A and B are shown apart, each in its own frame.
Chain A
Amino acid sequence: MTAQLPILQVIVPLLAAPICAVLRHGRAATWLAVLASWSALAIAVVLLGQVMAGGVVSYHIGDWVPPIGIEYRVDIVNAWVLVIVASIGAVVAPYSVTSVEHEIASRRIPLFYAAYLLCLSGLLGITITGDMFNVFVFLEISSLSAYALISLGRPRRALTAAYRYLIMGSVGATFIVIGIGLLYVMTGSLNMADLAELLPGVWDSRTVKVAYGFLGVGVCLKLALFPLHLWLPNAYAFAPSPVTAFMASTATKVAVYMLLRFFLSIFGAAFSFDVMALDRVLLPLALVAVVSMSLVAIFQVDVKRLLAYSSVAQIGYMILGLSFASVTGLTATLLHLFNHALMKGALFMALGCVVYRIGSVHIDAMAGLGKRMPWTMAAFVVGGLSLVGVPLTVGFISKWYLILGALEKGGPWIAVAVLVLVTSVMALVYVWRVVEAAYLREFSGDEATREAPLSLLAPTWILVAANLYFGIDAVRTAGVARQAAEVLMAGIGS
C-alpha cells in the first residue's frame, strides 16, 4: 500500500471530483470533498516522512520504466510543497462547507467541490510528477478548474476576472508547453531526471536558451511575478472566499515550486546562475514587486484586493530569496512558501467570516467590527502581524532568513536587507489601516451582526494557531527548508 502512495496522492482527489459532480447532492459532495482532501494531507505527510527517512521515492506509473514511462518522483523539495498544498486543501475544505452555502447557489455546490478537488489534484500533480509533459497536463487541470472556481464569485465582475485570468493563464501555459517542446526537440526526453543529465551536453545551443526563456516567462505568469501579475488582484478579490483562501495559499506556491524545479534541478543551479544570470534578472523584478505592490496595497479600500496586492509583494520576497543564489536565500524562499500559505490562508479565511456576516470587505464596512466579531478580527490581527513579520509569528522566521541571506552576501546587498525591512513597515501600514478601522471606529452596520459561526472560525483559527506555533518552534520547518535548499543548490558552492 505505501508503495502506491505517490499515485494515490493525485488519484484520490482526482477520482473524488467526478463523483462529487455526479452526486448532485450538496451535503454528500461536501463531505466527500472533505474526506478526499484530508486523505490527501495524510498521504502527503507520510510521503514527507518517507523521504526524510529514506531519500527519494520514485514511482513508475503502470510499471513503465522511465524515461519511457511517466515517473512520479518525490524528494525533500516537492514532499515539502505537497504538505503545504495538501494541508491548506484540508483546512479550506471544511471551512468552505458553511461559506459556500452562503456564497454559491445550492445547485452548483456539487460542481464547486468537483472543481475544487480537480484544482487540488492538479496542483498536487504538478508538484509530484517527474515528467515534463505531465506537468503541463496537471497545470491545465488545475488552471481550468481555477477559472471555473473564480467565476463562481458572487459579484458579476468575477466573470471578467476569471476570463482575464483565463487569457493570461493560457498564454503562460502555452509558453510552458513551447518550452517543453523545445527541450524535447533537443534531448528527446520528457523525464526530469533524465533531462537534468542530458541538458549539460547541449547547454550551448540557442534552442535550449530559448526554451529556458519560454519556461521562465510562462511560469512567472502563473506565479504572478511583477509585471506579469495583472490577473491576480481581480481574481482574488472577486472569487468566493474559500477559493481565494485556497488559491492564494497554494496556486502561486506551486508555480514558485515549478520555477525552482525547472531552473535549479532540471537546468541546474550552475546553468541558471552562471550562464543565464537568472539571479540578475530576478533581483530587480523581485525588488520592484515588493516595493511597488506594498505601496499599491496601502491605498486599497477593498481588503480582499489589499491582501491580493500584498500577495504579489510577498511572491516578490520568495523570488528575492531565489535571486540571492545561496542556500540561505533559498531556505528563505522555501520557508516563505509555507509561511505565506499559513498567513494568507488565515487572513483570507478571516475575511471570509466577515463576508459571511456583513457581505462586504470594504474597509469602511469593517469599521467597528472588533467588538462585533472579536474572534474573527483577532484572527485577522494575528495573521496581519505575521504578514508584517512580528516575532513569534511565522512571518518573522521568513524575514529572518531573508535578511540573513542578504547580509551574508555583504556589500551592496545590505541595501536589499534594508529594503526588505522598509517594505515590512509598509506592510504594517496596510495591515494597520484595517485593524484601526475595526477597533477604533464605530460600527455602523446592521445591529444584529454577530460573531461568525464556529464552522468558519475553527478552520480559521487552526491556521492562526499554526502561524504562532511555527513562529515559536521553527527549528523543524527551517530544517526541512534548508535540506531542500541544499538539494536544489547541489553542485554550487555554499
Chain B
Amino acid sequence: MSIELLLALSLAVPAAGTLLILLLRRNPNAREAASLVTAGALFAIVLRIYGVVSGGERPELVLAEPIQGIPIALEAEPLGVLFALIASFLWIVTTMYSIGYMRGHHEKNQTRFYVFFAFAIASVMGVAFAGNLFTLFVFYEILSLTTFPLVTHAGTDAARRAGRVYLGILFGTSIAFQLLAIVWTYAVAGTLDFQVGGILDGRLAGIAVPVLLGLFVFGIGKAAVMPFHRWLPAAMVAPTPVSALLHAVAVVKAGVFSVLKISVYVFGIDFLAGAGASVWLMWAAAATIILGSLVAFMKDNLKARLAYSTVSQLSYVVLGAMLANSWGVIGSGLHILMHAFGKITLFFCAGAIMVAAHKSEVSQLKGLGRTMPVTFGAFFIGTLSIVGLPPTGGSWSKWFLGVGSLEAGQVGLMAVLMVSSLLSLAYLMEIPLKGFFHKPDEPPHHEGIHEGPKWSLVAIVTTAVACLALFLYPEPFYRLMTMVAGP
C-alpha cells in the first residue's frame, strides 16, 4: 500500500468510523465494537507511517487547493508522527474506558458521543499530519467545532455556559490572533509550508519577530497559556472520557504541538534563538506554570484540580519550544508524550471514582484507597509521572527541559521547573495519601463501593503500566525527536 494512501486513510478511517457507529446505533455492543475496531485500525495505520518516517522519508499528499499556492496538504514528519502515535494509541484505551464509564454512569445520547469522538480524532490526525500552516489552521478549527458537542454533552445550563466559554476563547483567539499571524506570515514569506529551519529567516526582523511569535502562541488558545486558559477548566463539564482523551491529550496537545511545530518549522529554532524573540514568551509560559499549579492547589474538585494541573503542564511544552535549542525541543516533544500518559491515567482514575463511589471532591476521598486499591495505585503512578520522578516516563521530559533551560542560560527557568514540580507533588500526592492513609469520615460511606467498571479498570492499568514502561523504553520517541532537532 502506498504511503500517501496511508496518510489519507489516517483521516478517512476515523471519519468512516462515524458512519459505522451511526449505522450500528441500535445495538450498543456492535456500536462500541465498531469504535474499538476503528481505533485499532487507525493505530495500525499510524504505526505503519511511523515505520516509514523513522526510516527518513517524508511522504506528502495534497488534498485540495483552496487558494492559489496554499494547498490543504498532509505531510508525515517525526513530530507529527509522535503526536499521532500518542493520540491514536490512547484513543483505543479511552474507547475501552468509555464503554465502562458511559454505561456505568448511564449517560444519554451515547451514539452522538461516539460519533463526535471519532470526528475529533480525525481532526487530530489532520493537525498531526498538517503539511503547512493553513492545513494546520483548518484542522485546528474543525477540532474546536467537533469537540463542542462533546463539551456540552450534558445539555444543562452549566454545560451551555461552559460551551460558550470553550468556543468563545478557542475561536476568538484563533480568529483574532492566529489567523492574523498566518496571513502575516504569508505576506512576508510568500509561503506557508513547514520547512526544516523555518521560512521566516531573513524575511522578518526586529520587533516584528517577537510580536508574530506572540500572536501564534496566544492565538493557539488550545495551548492554554494564561490569560487564555479559562476554556480548559470550563471544558471539565464534559463526560470524563472527553476530559481524559481530549482535554488532557488530544485537544490540548494539538495546541502545544502546534506551538512546537510552528517554532521549529516556521520560525526555526536557530532564527528564534538568534533574534531572542522568544524570551518574553518563556516567561509567559513560566508564569502559567507557577500560577496554574497554585490554582490547582486551591481546587477541591478533583477534575478542576487536574484541569489546572494540565494548564500548568502544557506550558512546560510551550516553554521547551520557546527555549529555542535542541534540548528544549526534545524535552518539549517528550513532555507531550509523558504528560499524555500521566494525565490520562489521573483522569481515568477520577472518572472511575466518580462512577463507582460518586465522589468528585478531593476532601471526600479519605480512606477510599482501601476499597479501590487499583485505582488509587494507578493514581499514584500517574502522579509520579506528572511530577517527574523515577521510575516513570515523566522524569525524562523534565530532565531534558532542565538541560534546555541551562543551555539557554536561563537558570531562573530551571528554578521555576523545580518549584512547580514540588507544587504538583503537593497537590497531586494529597489524593493517594488521603485515599490510603486517612481514616474515613464518620460514619463510613464506603460500603458497597468497589473498583470501577472492569472495562475502565483495564484502561487504567494499561496507561499506568505505560507510564512505568516509558521510563525504561523512551528510546524510540527520543529518536523521533532527535530527527526533529538533533543536538
Contacts and interface: CB of A to CB of B under 8 A. Distances in A.
B176 A440 contact: no
A316 to B, nearest CB: 17
Contacts of B186: 404
A257 B333 CA distance: 52
Interface in B161-219: 163-164, 167-168, 171-172, 175-177, 179-180, 183-184, 186-187
Interface stretch (B134-142, B360-368, B412-420): B134-142
A472 interface: yes
A407 B137 contact: no
B155 interface: yes
A418 interface: yes
B160 A440 contact: yes
A471 B66 contact: yes
Given A390-B141, A475-B66, A428 B171 contact: yes
A389 interface: yes
B72 to A, nearest CB: 8
Interface in B135-154: 137-138, 141-142, 145, 149, 152
Given A391-B138, A391-B141, A475-B65, A407 B187 contact: yes
Given A417-B180, A421-B176, A472-B66, A391 B163 contact: no
Interface in A467-490: 471-475, 478-479
A479 B138 CA distance: 22
Contact of B67 (A388, A424, A478): A478
A397 interface: yes
A454 interface: no
A444 B319 CA distance: 50
A436 interface: yes
B141 A425 contact: no
Given A407-B183, A472-B66, A391 B137 contact: yes
Contacts of A407: 183-184, 187
Interface string A362-403: 000000000000000000000001001111100011011001
A473 B65 contact: yes
Contacts of A418: 176, 180
A408 interface: yes
Contacts of A417: 180, 183
B176 A425 contact: yes
A293 B183 CA distance: 25
Given A400-B67, A418-B180, A475-B68, A432 B138 contact: no
A422 interface: yes
Which of the four size classes fits the interface of chain A? 20 to 34
Find the residue from B149, B155, B160, B171 having the highest chain A CB count within 10 A.
B171
A475 B175 contact: no
Nearest to A440: B160
B67 A397 contact: yes
B1 interface: no
Which of the four size classes fits the interface of chain B? 20 to 34
Nearest to B178: A421
A424 B159 CA distance: 24
B167 A432 contact: yes
Nearest to B72: A472
Interface in A400-441: 400, 403-404, 407-408, 417-418, 421-422, 424-425, 428-429, 432, 436, 439-440
A397 B66 contact: yes
Find the residue from B145, B149, B187 having the highest chain A CB count within 10 A.
B187
A130 B138 CA distance: 43
Given A404-B187, A407-B184, A421 B179 contact: yes
Contacts of B164: 432, 436
Nearest to B184: A407
A399 B171 CA distance: 15
A425 B179 CA distance: 12
A371 to B, nearest CB: 11
B175 A440 contact: no
B187 A478 contact: no
Nearest to A392: B138
Contacts of B67: 397, 400, 474-475, 478
A428 B172 contact: yes
Contact of A440 (B163, B171, B183): B163
Interface string B368-409: 000000000000000000000000000000000000000000
A62 B260 CA distance: 68
Interface of A: 385, 388-392, 396-397, 399-400, 403-404, 407-408, 417-418, 421-422, 424-425, 428-429, 432, 436, 439-440, 471-475, 478-479
The 3 A-B pairs of least Cβ separation, nearest first, read A391-B138, A407-B187, A403-B183
Given A391-B141, A404-B187, A436-B160, 16 more contacts: A390-B141, A400-B67, A403-B179, A403-B183, A404-B183, A421-B177, A424-B175, A425-B175, A425-B176, A428-B172, A429-B168, A440-B152, A472-B64, A472-B72, A475-B68, A478-B67
23 contacts: A390-B145, A391-B138, A392-B66, A397-B67, A400-B183, A404-B183, A404-B186, A404-B187, A407-B187, A417-B180, A417-B183, A418-B176, A421-B177, A425-B171, A428-B172, A436-B160, A440-B152, A440-B159, A472-B64, A473-B64, A475-B65, A475-B68, A478-B67
